Every structure is written in structure tokens, then in C-alpha cells.
Amino acid sequence: MLHIRQADPYDVIIVGAGPGGASAAIYAARAGLRTLMLDRSVMGGALARTSHIANYPGLGYREPLAGTDLLRMMREHAESLGARMVQSQVYGVELEDEEKSVVATDNVYTGRALIIATGAGSRDNKLPGEEEHLGRGVSYCATCDAAFFAGRDVVVLGNSYEAVEEAAVLARQARSVVVVTGSSRMLADKHEVDALLSRGNVSLRLQHTPLAVVGEQVVTGLRVRTPVGHEETIPADGIFVYLPGAKPATEFLENKVRLDEHGYIITTENMETSVPGVYAVGDVRGRPIRQVVLAAADGCLAALAAERYLRHTTKTTSQWHS
């Protein structure tokens, strides 16, 4: 795929647009920095899988608020201040130069500072055949790859809002879409699930445990265990995987910043990594307590640190005004 750098570098590129990334974008944009958020999903990540936010300051005492609603508000807040949101999968980074490069599905973006907010939802318990077929039928981004499966049969693995959203993207081009989950229910809103299933080419299989990706040179299907314990293969040309994990999503960094023994990014109290101008926030840092409010606080600190770095000053622009 041809990658074209943008004409001028961003001041701040944020990889991941969950609560940490969105918070960083809000503070960076308010400081007058040209800000870009990159995320593979409009509604992915741990917050989007949370059905009820009960302890976020100012919101928990009200009517139940879904994580997707809070995430949407955070991103819209950032965009209202001038931050740009691009839905794209990030595959790599180059951090040696003063301008950092981020290799994404649609482009190579450059920025003078980089904030990593990719969370800890990556998986190390891959299905047999999954890694071998990556790029040969296995994908993690329908928005990126749906066009390759026009008129073909695909399977979507997962029961999250993200899985439903991506299945809807695929349904516009694929011949058939089968949503498969080992769970007995979908986590996404019933309205969203019903809207998806109202499409004539989408079906849902609950309590079907995925066992393996089937195929030789390319994907030919997904082997599953049915609710009654039988094994069968669902024919498919493509398998889109949206299964949650608990591993830090740092593979795309290729150890270009310092990690701990578990793969989490090591930072200072100001979210600085081992590379000047590169910061990390939220669950990708690794800590025993994972809360939305802590990720948002990390984002604030990282953006203020990035501003100091970019302006070559130790003084932070006041953000107290409303």
C-alpha cells in the first residue's frame, strides 16, 4: 500500500483514542497544538466494553451511562477544540528523528511529539492458525480491509460494540457476515444488535466457541464448538477478530521505547518514555488499578509535558480557564 506523508507535521500525534488519548487531545488542542488522534475503531477499547459508568466524577450519580457514551463525549470534546480524529490501524513507528513517524493503514503521519494510548487489550492467546493467516484472510480492522472482501463471506469474532460496528461496515460490502461469540449474549446495545441483524446478509451465533482458523494458503473457514458440544466449520474467506485481551498493546513499537518485563511502557511521573518527545498514558503503562479517571489524568499530564517539550520551556500554559 502506498503511504504518503502529510505536507506539514502535526505537533502531537496520539495513538489510541480511549479516555487517556482523548484527554491528551483535549489538553493538547486547548494549548494550540496541531493534534491528531489515530484509532483503529470508533468505539473500541476497554471503556467501550463497559456497560455502566458508576464512578466517573460528575456522571456516576446520574442515570446509567454506557462507556460508549462517555467515550463519544470525550472524543467529540477533543474534536470541538480542533483535534483531528482518523480511524486507522497503526502498524509501526520511527522515533529516531526529531519528527516522529507513525505508519498507519492509510498514511504515514509525522509529528513532533507522540503520545501512546493503546491500552492493554491485546491478546497473547491467539487462535491456532490466526497469526499464520494474518493478511491472508485474518484482519483486525474492517474499516481498513472491508473492500478486499466485497462479495465474499466473512466471520466477525466478538460480542462488543466494536464487533457490532465493524460487522456493520463489512455488511455493506460482503456477501454474508456471521457474528460468532462464545458468550450467551452481546455486550453491545440491543438496538445496535437488532439494527445489524435487520440486514439481510448478517447472522448471529451465540455460544459458539472459536477453536481455530482453517485454511492453507488463505482462510477457508473458522472451526467452532457449538452449544451442544459438536465441532463444525463455518465457511469464510475472511475472519475479523475483536476478542479482548489483557496484554499491553505495544507490538507496533518493536521495543523502540523501554518496556518492563511484561511489555508495559515504562514512564516517569510526567508520562515521559525513554525517548524524548514520546509519552505513554493509561493501561499501556501497567499498574494495579485501572480506572477511566486515572487514564484521563495521564492524558492531561502527557499533553502538558508534550507542550513543554515542544515549546522548549519548563513552564506550562495555564489550562484553568473555562
Active site residues: 141, 144-145
Question: What is residue 192's three-state secondary structure?
Answer: helix
Residue 138 amino acid letter: V
Which residue matches cell numbers 500525534?
A: 13
Selection from 27, 148, 22, 14 nearest residue 88 by Cα: 14
Length of the chain: 322
Written as one string, the DSSP assignment of 107-175 is: -EEEEEEEEE--TT-B-SSPPTTTTTTBTTTEES-HHHHGGGGTTSEEEEE--SHHHHHHHHHHHTTSS
CA distances from 36 to 76, 86, 124, 188, 197 (A): 13, 7, 29, 27, 34
98 by Cβ neighbours in 10 Å (0-12 / 13-18 / 19+) ranks as exposed
Please tell me the distance from the alpha carbon of residue 250 to that of residue 16, in angstroms, as a whole number: 11
Q: Residue 23 contacts by C-beta under 8 Å, 6 or more apart in sequence?
A: 74, 281, 295, 296, 297, 298, 299, 300, 303
* Nearest-angstrom CA–CA distance, 140 and 138: 7
Interhelix angle 161-171/190-197, rounded to 10 degrees, is 20
